[in-house]
Structure 1
Amino acid sequence: MKKALLILSGVAILALMAFQLYNNKVEMAENAKLSEISSDAIPVETTKASRKILEEETTADGQLEPVTDLMVISETQGRVIRVLRKKGSTVSKGDLLAEVENDLLEAEVAATEANYLKLKADQERFSKLAEQNAVTQRQLEDIGIGLKNAEAQYKSAQKRLSNTYIRATASGFINDDFIQEGSYIGGGAKLYEIVDDQQLRLNVKLTARDILRIQKGDTVEISSNLYAGETFKGIVSAIAVKADASLKYNVEIELLNSAAQKLKPGMYTTAHFHFKQKEEALYLDRNALAGSLQNPQVFVVNGETAELKNIEVGASHGPWVEIISGLSSQDQVVSSGQINLTDGTKVKVLH
């Protein structure tokens, strides 16, 4: 009895396996048929080239610099007797910053002035006498030479006296000072560093292609990561005529700081150059290219088949490439699915 049950169980298992194998074969055959049916037409998405005027943006980073960043240098020597402005002060051009002892120079100016005025009066007197032939021409010439020397000595003494009054040579902010009352300074000593943070300058590098599209006086947007969503206005003030070692050209941009003076010298910022085309051109989505930019090709839907066409392209602008020839704005160009296509493949356009 047990033997009979074992035999029946074995037969049942074999029958079940045979049935499963049969079902698998049927399913595979049906899938093969579906594959044959679906392979008749490759599904694709299409696009069309369109005529438009594009606006392209080029960005370049740089560090802000003050237009005015100068050092006030001593043109005299002596002991500092007064310091009127220190680091942190805002000054205007010509403001008195400090004073160096000048008693002897004041006396020298007074003496040279008196000598100059005396010789000037002598020249006038000798000129009248010369008209009456009361003095020789040589005497008159000597007086003239003496007057010129006296005038030079007087002006030299005035200049040296003036140099003892240290004045701001530009308007701005005293970023640092190197002077203190009672100290002795010599000629050429650094006294003050004056920085004007109201007028800033930004130097950036652009390619040859980009500098041909800008000119002096163009407006440029300036942005900083420190002020998200806020832009500042800059003006192109200079464009280099010679490229550097990296084959890029320096472009200098000047900008007036805002009333709040948010931007500071030394901050990193980005210049945004916007280039707008003068005329319309035909553009195609770069994703539609089946070949490279060096060997551009596209698939164009012609009826129910895809036709491979050679085209000529121009410059690329972001996701767009300019079409010079080979396409019209009416052509249906495959933009997705072209990897499965060859010339003459049947296609089905998905909508």
Structure 2
Amino acid sequence: MASKAVYSAIAFVGIAALSGVAWWYQSKPQGPKEIVGGNAQAASGSAAASAPPRIAGVEVGKVARITLQDDAQSVGSLRSRQSVMVRPEVAGRVKTLGFKDGAQVRKGQLLVQLDDTLQRAELSQAQAQLSIAEANFKRNQELVAQNFVAQRVLDESAANVQVVQVQLALAQARLGRMAIVAPFDGTVGLRAVNVGDYVKDGADLINLEDTGSMLLDFRLPERYQRKLRPGLVVELALDAFPGRAYKARIEAVDPLLDANGRSVGIRAVLPNNGGDQAGVGAGAPLRPGMFARVTAIFGVNDAALVVPEESLVPQGGKQFVVLVVPPSEVPSAANLPANTEWVSKRQEVKLGVRRQGKVEVTEGVSEGQTIVVAGQQRLQRDGTPVRIVELGRGPAAAASAPASAPVARSSGG
């Protein structure tokens, strides 16, 4: 136990001694540093002052002229020109079916006949009552002419004839409701009933679709509403028929905007001729419910000036591009060395349509001008010397002339 205390005291003294030596070594005054050739800091400053300014390396592209399509994309669904679910107005038992599943039917063709025995009996009763009422009226006319009865009796007979006529019309209407006919020409679907089934009023019997032409329903954001109008052409592609193109014309624009999505409903119409309108080849007829990818075309500019989207520099609510020009075009570059080949120049632009990484420029630049597409952050003022760099090529090869980035022709989409 005593030896442990001794060892602990020795360890404590040793640590304290080492700490003191370390403190003394760090706090002792340092000797003078050797300076060769005068003040080193001044020498480095003069060297930096005599060194040539560093030239910013940038990537460039060209203002190109392409065919640009102003359009908007959406998705929609095909619908029948007319579509109805046939339902009975009264309850009854199915007596006859006048169609086959998936068959073509004509307007007025009998689809479903319900058991009408009771209604026919009511009609016969009403017809008999009408015959009696008319005979009484005729007899009373003769009696009034001979002054055997009062005029009041004749008036009551005439009123009774009218009442029985209404009862006859009511019986005919009830009988007519037992026969369900096609309201228009079309194609029936798959029946949900069979002969002998008892159906209630409003039960689904068969769907009828008029697919001679198709409706296309889709929606677009509200910002496009000023460009939408009846007669405007829209293109659509169907997942069911890949590689085929179809065209439709806008028939109506919903005046009410959707308050949830702030979008406007649009309905277009296209023929259903069972083939490809673009001439790609014959195809199956279009069917209601198909999914469609829609492109609404607002206009086509065959000579639109475009720049890469990454070349834009927003500032103060405006849009700029940085041009690469000779020093002679920038007054602030007059004091640059004579061997300076290219300098920067900011130019405000007005923008139009954006498509696939390209932006239409309506004002500010002309075709063929060289613009900076990468490295604009290094060019804080006009007249800054630039060194043109191309990916995959050395700076020396690229610095001889501004590079022209290829701009693919695009039809929008």
The TM-score, its normalising length taken from structure 2, stands at 0.64
1:329 aligns with 2:343: no
For structure 1, which segment, 60-69 or 202-211, has the greater mean C-alpha deviation from structure 2 after superposition?
60-69
> 1 CA distance for matches of 2:200 and 2:324?
85
What secondary structure does 1:160 align onto?
helix
Mapping for residues 1-351 of structure 1, pairs under 5 Å: 45=60, 47-48=62-63, 54-120=68-134, 136-244=150-258, 245-259=260-274, 261-276=284-299, 283-287=305-309, 289-292=311-314, 294-304=317-327, 305-318=342-355, 319-324=358-363, 327-329=364-366, 332-336=369-373, 338-339=375-376, 340-342=378-380, 343-347=382-386, 349-350=401-402
Instruction: Return closer, same or farther for 1:93/1:251 CA change in 2, 3 Å cut-off.
Output: same
Cα distance, 1:129–1:292 mapped onto 2, change above 3 Å: farther
Q: CA deviation at 1:273?
A: 0.9
Which residue in 2 is equivalent to 1:4? none
1:106 aligns to what SS in structure 2? helix
Q: Which of 1 and 2 has greater Rg?
A: 2
Helix, strand or coil for the counterpart of 1:296?
strand
1:72 and 1:286 mapped to 2: Cα distance? Answer: 57
Q: Counterparts of 1:42 and 1:186 in 2: how far apart (Å)?
A: 81
Give how far 1:257 is off: 1.7
Pair 216,124 (structure 1): closer, same or farther in 2 beyond 3 Å: farther
Q: Gaps (5+ residues) in structure 1?
A: 1-35
Contact 1:220 1:272 in 2 (8 A): yes
Structure 2's unaligned 5+ residue stretches are: 1-50, 275-282, 328-341, 387-398, 404-413
Query: Identity, % of aligned pairs?
Result: 23
Shift of 1:274: 0.9
The 1:235/1:282 distance shift into structure 2, 3 A limit, reads closer
- Shift, 1:124, TM fit: 6.4
Q: CA deviation at 1:214?
A: 1.5
Shift of 1:141: 3.2
Aligned residues: 312
Cα 1:350–1:184 change in 2 (3 A) is: closer
Question: 1:156 and 1:162 mapped to 2: Cα distance?
Answer: 10
* CA displacement 1:205-251 (0-9 Å, x = unmatched): 10122222121232322211332221223232321223221111111
Supply the distance in 2 between the matched residues of 1:111 and 1:101 (Cα, whole angstroms).
18
The alpha-carbon distance between structure 1 residues 141 and 57, as it changes in their structure 2 partners (threshold 3 A), is same
Pick closer, same or farther for the CA change 1:310–1:334 going to 2, 3 Å. Answer: closer
The one-letter code sitting in structure 1 at the alignment partner of 2:307 is D
* TM-score (ref. length: structure 1): 0.73
Q: Which moved more, 1:222-231 or 1:332-341?
A: 332-341
Deviation at 1:204, TM superposition (A): 1.3
Q: Secondary structure at the match of 2:227?
A: coil
Q: What is the CA-CA distance between 1:112 and the residue it aligns to?
A: 1.6
Q: Distance in 1 between matches of 2:218 and 2:79?
A: 12
